């Protein structure tokens, strides 16, 4: 039986892998412009980190983590998200002592044992950024702008931003009482998962996809009516900064996130064409989480972009990156192959994608190979051309051929490749 990839784990093949690299490159440029530094963290952590950081009663911790006991008898887990690991590193290495504000990004695979479907894999890639050490609403707006700017630079179509405030622990306590009272009256009509959430994490019921639960929660008390003056002021300033950054937004009072650590600002960027898994970026503020994990009481704000969902939204078949070859060297005969092999490095040092056949082939076969690779130019060189110090330059796009002196070759090739 043929060996296949595990269900929910996907090979990223060209051109999809090239497009993923392009997405990451755009993100790195945006992060660099904001003075965000890269941090690389392990993909495996102690299970207790995620239970404490994400929340013991979240779906991620209860149902979705890849957890197992290692040979030392310790429970360890593949990371389901990046924030907890970054904060663990900040605390462990006391990075907060080096600067009052820390700004980090990381890019890499995450793991969740969910039912695979379009836009949802068991191994997926996230582009994550965190700003730690400030509760300024400007930091919230800056993080949201980064996500919005990256997706717009990539030309992800028809996206829109939804935003809400979840308040602080003081606000949440007031809202929780009102919400629990409401849920008592509709408890019997909730789905099984939401009946469990009603006792452990009632705010998560707002995020249920069950139609009956969604209808019931339309009439539920909203956190916006319980915001304290400080949280209301913070939220208003975030919206003001987004307007100054020219980031359009929709306020969604029903928006919550699936992680317990969020406070105040929370947001999602939606791409409707993706269907059920339509969120391409999301994040929020997590004041109090660093203290909960054993560090100092310092605030934080972060977001993550789902790379695979961006790939789908970009429709790779219609928006392939330029994978064409600039120059194909068609050498005829052993002497010509040896003499022109050094040209590979000369052209590559000029930034031109240059290849030649590894085997001796006829001119017809080599030109066919050049055409299949999408080469812009083929340089035809045999022993006769070498004796006369000339090269036959063939424009593969028009099939036109000209003879040029070897001394003029570089200038002519550069000129044609820029067309």
Distance from chain centroid for Cα 182: 38
Residue 59 has a pLDDT of 67
Q: Which among 224, 225, 228, 197 is positioned nearest to 210, based on CA atoms? A: 197
Would you say 84 and 49 are in contact if contact means Cβ atoms under 8 Å apart?
Answer: yes
Query: Out of 82-96, 155-169, 251-265, 380-394, which region has the weakest mean confidence (pLDDT)?
Result: 251-265
- What value does the mean pLDDT take over residues 357-364? 91
Q: Round the average pLDDT of the chain to a whole number and report it.
A: 90
Residue 272 has a pLDDT of 92
CA distances from 217 to 15, 169, 177, 413 (A): 43, 21, 15, 65
Q: Are strands 390-395 and 44-46 parallel, antiparallel or unpaired?
A: unpaired
Residue 179 has a pLDDT of 84
For the domain covering 16-168+228-314, report its CATH number. Answer: 3.30.930.10
What share of the chain in percent tops pLDDT 70?
96
Distance CA 60, CA 64 (A): 5
Distance from chain centroid for Cα 398: 39
Residues in the chain: 419
Distance CA 285, CA 302 (A): 6
Half-sphere exposure of 334 toward its Cβ, with a 13 Å CA cutoff? 0
Would you say 212 and 188 are in contact if contact means Cβ atoms under 8 Å apart?
Answer: no
Distance CA 85, CA 91 (A): 10
Residue 65: CB atoms within 10 A of its CB come to 21
Residue 266 has a pLDDT of 95
Higher-pLDDT residue of 315 and 81 is 81
Residue 249 has a pLDDT of 97
Would you say 270 and 159 are in contact if contact means Cβ atoms under 8 Å apart?
Answer: yes
- What value does the mean pLDDT take over residues 163-183? 88
* Confidence band of 117 (pLDDT split at 50, 70, 90): confident
Higher-pLDDT residue of 197 and 355 is 355
Predicted TM-score of the model (pTM): 0.86
Return the ∠ at Cα 139 (arms to 134 and 143), rounded to 5°. Answer: 130
Residue 317 has a pLDDT of 45
Distance from chain centroid for Cα 234: 27
Residue 76 has a pLDDT of 93
With a cut of 80, say whether residue 340 has pLDDT above it: yes
Q: Kind and range of the H or E element at 52?
A: helix 47-53
How do residues 377-396 score in pLDDT, each as one tens digit? 999 999 898 889 999 999 99
Q: Classify 115 as helix, strand or coil.
A: coil
Q: Classify 236 as helix, strand or coil.
A: helix
With a cut of 90, say whether residue 216 has pLDDT above it: no
Residue 419 has a pLDDT of 72
How do residues 4-22 score in pLDDT, each as one tens digit? 998 999 998 888 888 999 9
Return the ∠ at Cα 65 (arms to 44 and 124), rounded to 5°. Answer: 75
Q: What are phi and psi of 376, to 5 degrees?
A: -80, -40
Structure tokens at 216: 């019931």
Rounded-to-10 torsion of CA 48, 53, 57, 59: -100
Q: Does domain 327-411 bear CATH number 3.40.50.1100? A: no
The radius of gyration of the chain's CA atoms, rounded to the nearest angstrom, is: 28
Residue ranges covered by each domain of the chain: 16-168+228-314, 327-411
How do residues 277-327 score in pLDDT, each as one tens digit? 899 999 999 999 999 999 999 999 999 999 999 999 987 545 555 567 899
With a cut of 70, say whether residue 31 has pLDDT above it: yes
With a cut of 80, say whether residue 60 has pLDDT above it: no
* Residues paired with 378 in a beta bridge: 328, 394
Distance CA 97, CA 288 (A): 18
Query: Out of 113-127, 144-158, 180-194, 225-239, which region has the weakest mean confidence (pLDDT)?
Result: 180-194
Residue 322 has a pLDDT of 57
- What value does the mean pLDDT take over residues 411-418? 86
Would you say 83 and 262 are in contact if contact means Cβ atoms under 8 Å apart?
Answer: no
């Amino acid at each position: 039986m043929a060996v296949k990839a595990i269900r929910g784990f996907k090979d990223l093949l060209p051109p999809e892998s090239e497009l993923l690299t392009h997405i990451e490159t755009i993100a790195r440029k945006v992060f660099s412009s904001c003075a965000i530094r890269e941090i690389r963290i392990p993909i495996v952590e102690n299970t207790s980190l995620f239970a404490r950081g994400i929340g013991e009663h979240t779906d991620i911790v209860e149902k979705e983590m890849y957890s197992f006991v290692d040979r030392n008898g310790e429970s360890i887990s593949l990371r389901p998200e990046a924030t907890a690991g970054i904060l663990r590193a900040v605390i462990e290495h006391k990075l907060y002592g080096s600067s009052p504000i820390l700004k980090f990004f990381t890019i890499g695979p995450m793991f969740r044992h969910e039912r695979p479907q379009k836009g949802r894999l068991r191994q997926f890639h996230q582009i994550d950024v965190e700003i730690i050490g400030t509760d300024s609403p400007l930091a919230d707006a800056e993080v949201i702008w980064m996500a919005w700017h990256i997706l717009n630079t990539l030309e992800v179509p028809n996206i829109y931003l939804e935003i809400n405030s979840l308040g602080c622990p003081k606000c949440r306590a007031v809202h929780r009482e009102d919400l629990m009272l409401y849920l008592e009256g509709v408890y019997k009509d909730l789905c099984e998962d939401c009946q469990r959430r009603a006792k452990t994490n009632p705010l998560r019921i707002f995020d249920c996809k069950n139609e009956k639960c969604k209808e019931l929660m339309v009439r539920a008390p909203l956190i916006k009516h319980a915001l304290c003056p400080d949280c209301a002021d913070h939220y208003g300033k975030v919206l003001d900064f987004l307007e100054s950054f020219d980031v359009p937004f929709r306020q969604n009072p029903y928006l919550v996130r699936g992680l317990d650590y969020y406070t105040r600002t929370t947001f999602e960027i939606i791409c409707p064409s993706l269907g059920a898994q339509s969120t391409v970026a999301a994040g929020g503020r997590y004041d109090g989480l660093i203290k909960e994990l054993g560090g100092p009481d310092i605030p934080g704000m972060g977001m993550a972009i789902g790379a695979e969902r961006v790939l789908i939204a970009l429709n790779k078949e219609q928006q392939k990156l330029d994978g064409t070859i600039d120059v194909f060297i068609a050498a005829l005969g052993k002497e010509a192959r040896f003499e022109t092999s050094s040209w590979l490095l000369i052209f590559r040092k000029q930034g031109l994608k240059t290849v030649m056949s590894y085997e001796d082939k006829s001119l017809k076969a080599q030109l066919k190979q050049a055409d299949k690779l999408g080469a812009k130019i083929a340089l035809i060189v045999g022993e006769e051309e070498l004796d006369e110090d000339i090269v036959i330059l063939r424009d593969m796009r028009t099939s036109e051929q000209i003879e040029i002196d070897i001394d003029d070759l570089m200038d002519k090739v550069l000129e044609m490749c820029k067309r």
